[in-house]
């Protein structure tokens, strides 16, 4: 029986790049134990700030066959996180009970070494508070009994208007996320580094449309 590993799955088929997950994450986390998340020069030139989740945009292919892919990126909560063993103080740690990787702000000395060890660039040093910050999988929501059960999910998952984000225990075959990963051939990012990221992505394809127009029969 594999250990519980909470994680996200992101469906690139339906992400429209609206950034609702970006702003809901920022709002939730700046106002809780993982915050505040500072902004610098907020109303001035080149405003910048700390965010746990970013949505990027890529163009794949060439006109007229271009696909515009919107790509949300946040900590992948690796099964074998390279950012944990390098931390000198133990501030960077992976929880045994659910596999969430967190930063203990009280221990963090702000050396930045863990971010060097992350190939995906999902850790951000908060320049004002001088500690490393990153996605917490809203651990403070997931276990908050004061919230209705349907809301004990990361803020980004609740905010997504196209249901592009899944959350749950990827090692529980009965969970919605594990089944979605199965059905959609979910994949990991940069598998070459063998850290076994827990977040999965679903690639661009349109099974229903292909089925309807007979394209899948042509392919298979």
Partner 1 sequence: MIKSLAHEMGMMGREHSIELPIAWTDVFGNEHKTVKGNPVAFHAMRGLAAHSNGFQSIRALSILMTLLGTIDVPGGFRHKAPYPKHIPPFPTPPNHPDAVQPNTPLAGSPLGWPASPDDLFVDDEGNPVRIDKGFSWEHPLSVHGLLHNVITNAWRGDPYHIDTLFIFMANLAWNSSMNTMQTRDMLKDKQANGEYKIPFIIVSDAFQSEMVEFADLVLPDTTYLERHDVMSMLDRPISEYDGPMDSVRIPILPPKGECRPFQEVIVELAGRLKLPVFMQADGQRKYKNYPDFILNYETEPGSGIGFLSGWRGRDGEKSMQGEPNPKQWEMYEKNNCYFHHKIPPEHQYLRNVNKGYLEWAKKLGFIKSVEPITIQLYSEVLQHFRLAAQGKRAGRKPPSHLRKRIETYFDPLPFYYEPLEVQLSDKNKYPLNAITQRPMAMYHSWDSQNAWLRQIHTHNYLFVNTKTASENGIKDDDWIWIESMHGKVRCMCRLTEAVEPGTVWTWNAIGKARGTWGLTNRANESTKGFLLNHLISEELPQQEGMGHLSNSDPVTGQAGWYDVRVRIYKADEETPKETWPQCESPKTPPGVKKRTGLWQQYFAGKGKFK
Partner 2 sequence: MKPPFSVIFLTTLIGMGQGLFLALYSEQIYLSLTQGEMEPFNFFFLVSTCIALCLTGLGLIASFFHLGHPERAWRSAACWKTSWLSREVIALPLFILFVFIYSLNFFPGFTTHILKVDSITINLSIVTGFLCSILCIVLFVCTSMIYACLRFLQEWNSLFTMINFMLMGCASGFILAATISSFMAPLLTLNYVVIAIVLTILAATSRSLSLARNKKLRPKSTIQSALGINNPKIVQKSQGAMGGSFNTRIFFHGKSRLFFKSIKWIFLTLAFLIPIIMLLMELENNRPFILLFALLIQYIGLIAERWYFFAEAKHPQNLYYQAIS
Binding site for partner 2 (CB under 8 A): 19, 22, 41, 45-51, 54-62, 68-69, 71, 73, 82, 84-91, 107-113, 115-121, 123-125, 127, 129-131, 187-193, 201, 203-204
List the one residue from 2, 3, 41, 130 that touches partner 1 (CB under 8 A).
41
What Cα–Cα distance (Å) separates residue 156 from each residue in 8, 48, 103, 141?
A: 10, 21, 19, 11
| Cross-strand partners of 69 | 58
Is 68 in contact with 57 (CB distance < 8 Å)? yes
For position 154 contacting partner 1 by CB under 8 A, the verdict is no
**C-alpha span between 23 and 6 (Å, rounded):** 22
List the one residue from 4, 13, 14, 23 that touches partner 1 (CB under 8 A).
23
Q: Which two tokens stand for residue 12?
A: 């690139």
For position 30 contacting partner 1 by CB under 8 A, the verdict is yes
Stretch in the footprint of partner 1 (CB under 8 A) among 11-19, 84-92, 93-101, 166-174: 11-19
Stretch in the footprint of partner 1 (CB under 8 A) among 25-33, 108-116, 177-185, 190-198: 25-33
Residues contacting 28, CB < 8 A, separation 6+:
138, 141, 155
**C-alpha span between 87 and 89 (Å, rounded):** 6
Residues contacting 24, CB < 8 A, separation 6+:
155, 156, 158, 159
For position 213 contacting partner 1 by CB under 8 A, the verdict is yes
Q: Which two tokens stand for residue 59?
A: 């163009």
Number of residues forming the site for partner 1 (CB under 8 A): 36
Instruction: Choose between 30 and 188: whose C-beta lies nearer to partner 1.
Output: 30
Instruction: Choose between 7 and 15: whose C-beta lies nearer to partner 1.
Output: 15
**C-alpha span between 114 and 120 (Å, rounded):** 12
Stretch in the footprint of partner 1 (CB under 8 A) among 56-64, 117-125, 145-153, 182-190: 56-64
Task: Answer with the entry of partner 2, partner 1, none that 193 interacts with (C-beta below 5 to 8 A by kind).
Answer: partner 2
């Amino acid at each position: 029986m594999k250990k519980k590993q909470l994680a996200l799955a992101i469906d690139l088929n339906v992400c429209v790049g609206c950034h609702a997950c970006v702003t809901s994450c920022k709002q939730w986390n700046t106002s809780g134990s993982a915050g505040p998340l500072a902004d610098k020069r907020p109303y001035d030139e080149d405003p910048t700030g700390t965010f746990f989740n970013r949505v990027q945009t890529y163009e794949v292919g060439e006109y007229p066959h271009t696909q515009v892919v919107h790509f949300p990126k946040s900590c992948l909560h690796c099964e074998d996180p390279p950012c944990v063993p390098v931390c000198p103080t133990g501030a960077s740690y992976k929880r045994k009970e659910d596999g969430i990787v967190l930063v203990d702000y009280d221990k963090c000395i702000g050396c930045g070494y863990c971010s060097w060890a992350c190939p995906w660039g999902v850790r951000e040093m908060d320049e004002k508070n001088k500690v490393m910050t990153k996605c917490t999988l809203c651990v403070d929501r997931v276990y908050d009994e004061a919230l209705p059960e349907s809301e004990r999910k990361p803020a980004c998952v609740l905010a997504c208007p196209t249901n592009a984000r899944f959350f749950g225990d990827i090692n529980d075959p009965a969970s919605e996320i594990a089944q979605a990963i199965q059905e959609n051939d979910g994949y990991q990012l940069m598998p070459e580094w063998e850290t076994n990221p827990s977040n999965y992505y679903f690639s661009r394809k349109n099974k229903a449309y292909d089925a309807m127009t007979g394209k899948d029969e042509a392919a298979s």
